[in-house]
Amino acid sequence: MKIEVNGTNYDIDIIGDKALVNGKEMSVNLNEDEIKIGDDFFRLDFVEEGQPSLMIINGMTYVVSRRLADNALSKEIKSPMSGKIVGIFTKAGSEVKKGQLLVILEAMKMENQIKSHLNGSIKEIKVSKDQSVKMGQVLVTFE
Amino acid sequence: MLKKVLIANRGEIVIRVAKTCRKLDLRPCGIYSDADKDSLHIRHCEEVLSIGGYSPSESYLRMDKIINAAQKLGCDFIHPGYGFLSENLEFSELCKKEGIIFVGPSPEVMKLSGDKVRARKVASKVASIVEGDEVSKVSNALDLANKIGYPVILKAAKGGGGRGLRIVTSADELKVAFASSRNEAIMSFGSDRVYIEKYIQNPRHIEVQIVGDDSNIIHLGERECSVQRRNQKLIEETPSPALTNEAREKITNTAIAVMKEMRYNNAGTVEFLFKEDNFYFMEVNSRIQVEHAITEEVTGIDIVAEQLHISSGEGLSIKQEDVNSRGHAIECRINAEHPINFVPFPGMVKHFVPTIGKGIRVDTFLYSGYSIPPFYDSLVAKLICTGENRGDTIRMMKEALFSFRISGIPTTIPFHISALSDNRFLDGNYDTSFINELRPFSSKNGEVAAAILFQLPKKVHFQKKSEEEDLWMKSRFDWTHIFDPDGSPQSSLRWNK
């Protein structure tokens, strides 16, 4: 499997408790939040699954993805954190461009601009001004 | 009986202030919100009272509850820390009325320093200022911006800490920014007054620490605070690598002159923008600052102790000639934030193992198993290293960052490691645009580990994820897109392929 990490490609295959890295065999030992590869220990500080996935290992950041065609952008925008909607700048049926401001969310004393991640048309605004929203709540959907 | 100090704040600054209180034979008392029942600051106070609530506006901003707590506990002083009510004039006046000593400058001084427009005018007698003025209507704003020329910056008159701040490059943007800046200003500071200044592109941000009483005002040197993101500081160091001795003398003397004009009487900071050997007065911060510790480390002076000496009427315990800075100190602010898009990321801390050692100071309220509430600032620890010279200190800091362990939540540690590996930082040659071109620092071994981990059949059970956190995971990459619009003035760390 081709895996991209911070812009570099690796060929990785897992066979039992060994990994083939670009054809080279290495022993792998995963112990809760520590991983031993060959003779090296790595502490896993944070792992965020997804495509790509974000990992913090030994205090450094790695962005990891499978090399696939990038298709199907999500048709909805979810609230990235709990907070309050303080402004809505679009409406159902509007055509919006990538990067266009849709909603302002106030959380942790900051105004966060939530912008469109694609060019498309708005299907529905699922929230109203001054509404409190939870992390992960759908704010806006696209056609 | 020991005199009591109510530390009307939360988190690391409470622990920091409590330490000095004990040293001075004062009894530190605390308050906590419902969201902070597990906060470590509670355990560093001798007596605590719940003030209830979750958001700041229902807890640490509630003057009535805080005064009430102070009276119940019989406190003689209220130390406001930073943020929350620390620069709130109404609160300091209320303390005075209730016979409690507010640890900060007098209300008269706060009235002046808290009004950025008036402070500018007073400071302009002794310091250069950037062209600009207060604007009350969009039409005024457009006229003034036209006169001084874009880009301009919108700021809250009662503001601070980057809130309400907008950089604007065109009239169209100004129309939107004017409303949102006012909105954020009223939300954060209870006043929608804003002003416009000519925007100085990529300056350095240098501030001077001042302590003063009614008879004497002295400086404790400067701090370089140019490593910022969204106008929030991330790394500070002292002395500033940008200043010659001559420039240093000039900027510190100017800061003293500004504070004398204001009749300043406590610990405070004069902030300047520094560009092409010119410095411009920006504002006075009338509180203890997050980054005060680096000044303490190089001068050996306990700034909180001086605040308490001044407020108790004893006056400053030091004179200018007693201040001898030695060595170099750097602070890295460790925030619970996503390391790429800097979105605050509250959650459960699995392991917390701070670095300890000679010359290393960690001001924090974290512990393993602590769940960071989502209602407050994302700062969770300050890592401060002090060494003989700048090079040594940078090396120390990097080592300290590598061995500092916080797991379960993402933090700005990767950002700091990247920053301290950047040649511009190593050369001391950076300004507020530093972060825009920062390359993430990582290791090849780590890349292999990440690639293998990604392919392992069962993923690590990293932390118990609540349903909410799972949703976050799913939504994260929408958010990355959102935070990655081209041309955004609010930079983020990006992966360059």
Identify the pLDDT of residue B190: 80
Q: Between chains, do B378 and A108 touch, taking CB under 8 Å as contact?
A: yes
Domain boundary assignment for chain A: 2-66, 72-142
Choosing from B118, B287, B395, B439, the catalytic residue is B287
ipTM score here? 0.81
Distance from CA of B482 to the nearest CA of A (A): 5
Q: Between chains, do A108 and B453 touch, taking CB under 8 Å as contact?
A: no
Q: Where are the alpha helices (DSSP H) in A9-133?
A: none
Identify the pLDDT of residue B315: 96
Residue B339 sits at the chain A interface (C-beta within 8 Å): yes
CA dihedral B122, B125, B127, B131 (to 10 degrees): 70
Identify the pLDDT of residue A128: 92
Q: For residues B18 and B16, what is the distance between their CA atoms, to the nearest angstrom?
A: 6
Q: Where are the alpha helices (DSSP H) in B262-412?
A: 292-299, 303-311, 390-403
Which tens digits make up the pLDDT trace of B176-208? 999 999 988 888 778 889 999 999 999 999 999
Could you say which of A6, A44, A80 has the minimum Cβ distance to residue B460?
Answer: A44
Could you say which of B405, B462, B475 has the minimum Cβ distance to residue A47?
Answer: B462
Task: Tell me which chain A residue has its CA closest to the CA of residue B339.
Answer: A61
Top-confidence residue, B246 or A76 = B246
Distance from CA of A138 to the nearest CA of B (A): 9
Q: Between chains, do B451 and A10 touch, taking CB under 8 Å as contact?
A: yes
Q: Where are the alpha helices (DSSP H) in B24-162?
A: 63-73, 89-97, 107-113, 116-123, 138-148
CATH of A72-142, one of 3.40.228.10, 3.30.70.580, 2.40.50.100, 2.40.110.10: 2.40.50.100
Identify the pLDDT of residue A134: 85
Residue B447 sits at the chain A interface (C-beta within 8 Å): yes
Q: For residues B28 and A10, what is the distance between their CA atoms, to the nearest angstrom?
A: 56
pTM over 0.90, yes/no: no
Which tens digits make up the pLDDT trace of B334-388? 999 987 777 888 899 999 999 999 999 999 999 999 999 999 999 999 999 999 9
Which tens digits make up the pLDDT trace of B97-119? 999 999 999 999 999 999 999 99
Which tens digits make up the pLDDT trace of B429-469? 999 999 988 988 999 999 999 999 998 876 544 443 343 44
* Chain A residues closer than 8 Å to B339 by CB: 54, 56, 61
Identify the pLDDT of residue A73: 63
For this structure, is B62 an active site residue?
no
Identify the pLDDT of residue A36: 94
Distance from CA of B406 to the nearest CA of A (A): 6
Q: For residues B290 and B164, what is the distance between their CA atoms, to the nearest angstrom?
A: 19
Task: Tell me which chain A residue has its CA closest to the CA of residue B418.
Answer: A60
In the stretch 169-228 of chain B, residues with CB closer than 8 A to chain A read 180, 183-184, 187-188
- Tokens of residue B170, six digits: 């065109």
Q: What is the mean pLDDT of residues A37-54?
A: 89
Q: What is the mean pLDDT of residues B218-244?
A: 95
Q: Between chains, do B410 and A14 touch, taking CB under 8 Å as contact?
A: no
Q: Between chains, do A21 and B452 touch, taking CB under 8 Å as contact?
A: yes
Q: How many CB pairs under 8 A join A and B?
A: 221
Which tens digits make up the pLDDT trace of B1-33? 789 999 999 999 999 999 999 999 999 999 999
Confidence of residue B477 (pLDDT cuts 50, 70, 90): very low
Residue B460 sits at the chain A interface (C-beta within 8 Å): yes
Which tens digits make up the pLDDT trace of A84-95? 899 999 999 999
Q: For residues B308 and B20, what is the distance between their CA atoms, to the nearest angstrom?
A: 9
**Residue B393 confidence (pLDDT) above 90:** yes
